[in-house]
Amino acid sequence: MDFSGARFPLLAASLALLFLVSAAQGPVPAPVPAPPTPAPTVAPPTPAPAPVTPAPAPAPTAPAPSPRAPPPAPVAPAPAPKAPAPAPVTPSPAPEAPISSPPAPVPAGEIPPAEAPTSPVPPSTAAGRSSGWIFSTAAVAAAVYAF
């Protein structure tokens, strides 16, 4: 095959196809701006602590015991009452597992909810972008091949 006479028309057609596919995809959505970060809070300066003055020694309130007086007898604590013995624990029978119904049948060609994609891009938009990328690449490849 000899494309020597058809280089310019093929290049023009490839570039036109590239332009049309790019225009059909629409504008690229603007990125979502990040929320503003709050300004750091600065704590107010703490005042200098007041100087500590020593407290005066307390005056004795009771006279010291006489060395001749016998020491007071210690008081024995009352015995603590005994706790009653705990009742024997009998194991309770295990509860039966609830009978679950089988999952509902999924129509052919649909994705079950548990396996549904969580992409923020709608499927129609994602499919359009991927096919546009393929056509754009094909147009560039055709233009390169023309030379």
Q: 46-92: per-residue pLDDT in tens?
A: 777 777 777 776 666 666 655 676 666 677 666 766 767 766 777 66
What's the mean pLDDT when you consider all of the chain?
A: 68
Classify residue 31: in a domain, yes or no.
no
Q: What is the pLDDT of residues 81-123, one digit of tens each?
A: 676 776 677 766 666 656 666 667 777 777 666 655 565 555 5
The shares of helix, strand and coil residues in the chain, as percent rounded to the nearest 5, are: 35, 0, 65
In 3D space, the residue among 134, 146, 124 whose CA is nearest the CA of residue 18 turns out to be 134
Q: Which of 142, 105, 113, 109 is nearest to 12 (CA)?
A: 142
More confident of the two residues 18 and 28: 18
For 5-25, what is each residue's pLDDT tens digit? 666 777 778 778 877 777 777
The tally of domains found in the chain comes to 1
Answer yes or no: is 32 within a domain.
Answer: no
Report if residue 144 sits inside a domain. yes
**Predicted structure pTM score:** 0.20
The boundaries of the domain holding residue 137 are 10-21+124-147
In a domain, 142, yes or no: yes
Residues 6+ apart with CB under 8 A from 24: 128, 132
pLDDT at 93: 66
